[in-house]
Structure 1
Amino acid sequence: MCAKGTYCLILKTDGCTVGVGSLKSIVFEAGYYIYVGSALGPGGLKRMHRHQKLARQKDKKPRWHIDYLLTHSDFEYVDVVYTCAEKHIECGIAANLQGTYVSKFGCSDCFCQSHLFHRLTCPVNEIKSAIEDIGQKPKILSENDDF
C-alpha cells in the first residue's frame, strides 16, 4: 500500500440544500457527486478512512467543504477511487472530469473552477479513466486497506 496520493470520493443524494461554510447555501440536484481530494499531508491516504467514518457516523463538526456533505443526512457515501502519488495531481484529475460542477467547492488552494462534480449515474468507470488519462493507476478503496 502507498502512504500518499489523490482520491475521488463518490457520494449520492436524492437532492437537497446544504449550507457549506463560506460558500453558503447550495442546492444539490439528485445524483452522484465526485469530490477530488489530495492526501499528501500528514496521515496521507488515511484521510479516506476518516471520510468513510465521518459519512457513517456523522458525528463531527464540519471543517472542510466536503465535511458538510459527509455529515449531512441527505448524502450517502458510495465509494472512493484513489491513486498513489507523491505530488499534487488532483487538479489534473479534476480537469479530466469537468462537466457539471459546484463552483468553488473544495478548490480554495488552487485555480480550478471546482473539485466537486455532479453525475446522474455512478461515475466509478469515468473516474478510473480520468486517473488513467494522467498516467496513474486507479484503485478502489477496501474497508480493510491499511495505509
Structure 2
Amino acid sequence: MAGGTYTLVLKRDASGPITVGALGEIEFPAGWYAYTGSALGSGGFSRIDRHRAVAAGDNDTRHWHIDYLLGDTTTTIERVVTTEADVECAVAQRIGGSTAGFDRVDSFGCSDCDCRSHLRYHERRDRLLDAVTAAHEAARDETAAATE
C-alpha cells in the first residue's frame, strides 16, 4: 500500500480534559480538529486503519498522542485527506497558518520534529476542511515543482 502524509479531520462533540501521555491533561473544546501524521513505513496508509480502530474502541493501545484523543468517546473521525509524499510538517504548518480562529494544541504530535504542533482546532467544520484541503494541495504542488 502506498504511504505518505495524512490528515485526520476529527469532530469532538463535547468539551473536556483528556490525559495525553507525557503531555499530561489537556483541555479539548468541542469542535473540529485536524491531526497531521505520516505513514511512510512498510504498511503505508494502513496506519489510518489503526487510527479508525482506536476511534471505534477496537484498539486500546496508546502509542501516540493522537491515540488518546481518538480513544475518547466524544471524538470521531470525519474525513481523511492524504498526499503520497513526505510532507507531514509542511502540511501541519500550513493548516490555518496564522489565520484567526485556528488554534494549535502545543506540542501535540510533534515530538519527533521541530514543529509547534501537528494538531489544529477550529470551531467550524467548513473552515477546517478548506484549510486541510488547501494545505495538502499546496504541499503537492510544491513537491511536484521540486521534481520538475
> TM-score, with normalisation over the residues of structure 2?
0.84
**Unaligned residue ranges in structure 2 (runs of 5+):** 142-148
Q: Which residue of 1 aligns with 2:79?
A: 79
1:111, 1:105 → 2: CA distance?
A: 12
Q: Which residue of 1 aligns with 2:10?
A: 11
Measured on the aligned residues, the alpha-carbon RMSD in Å equals: 1.6
- Structure (1 or 2) with the greater helix fraction: 2
Contact 2:15-2:29 within 8 A present in 1 as well: yes
**Unaligned residue ranges in structure 1 (runs of 5+):** 137-147
Q: Which residue of 2 aligns with 1:142?
A: none
Q: Which residue of 2 aligns with 1:131?
A: 136
Correspondence for 1:113 among 80, 91, 116: 116
1:80, 1:16 → 2: CA distance?
A: 24
Q: 1:12 to 1:47 in 2, by over 3 A?
A: same
Residue deviations 1:5-56 (CA, integer Å, cap 9, x gap): 1000011112111000000000011101110000001311111111112211
Residue deviations 1:62-110 (CA, integer Å, cap 9, x gap): 111000011111212211111112xx31110011113311000000010
23-32 vs 91-100, which moves further: 91-100
Correspondence for 2:93 among 86, 92, 95: 95
Tell me how far 1:58 sits from its aligned partner. Answer: 4.7
Q: Which residue of 1 aligns with 2:51?
A: 51
Q: Which residue of 1 aligns with 2:145?
A: none
1:39, 1:59 → 2: CA distance?
A: 18
Aligned partner of 1:94: which letter?
A
Aligned partner of 1:95: which letter?
Q
Aligned partner of 2:21: which letter?
G
Aligned partner of 1:17: which letter?
P
> TM-score, with normalisation over the residues of structure 1?
0.84
Identity value in percent: 41
Tell me how far 1:125 sits from its aligned partner. Answer: 2.3
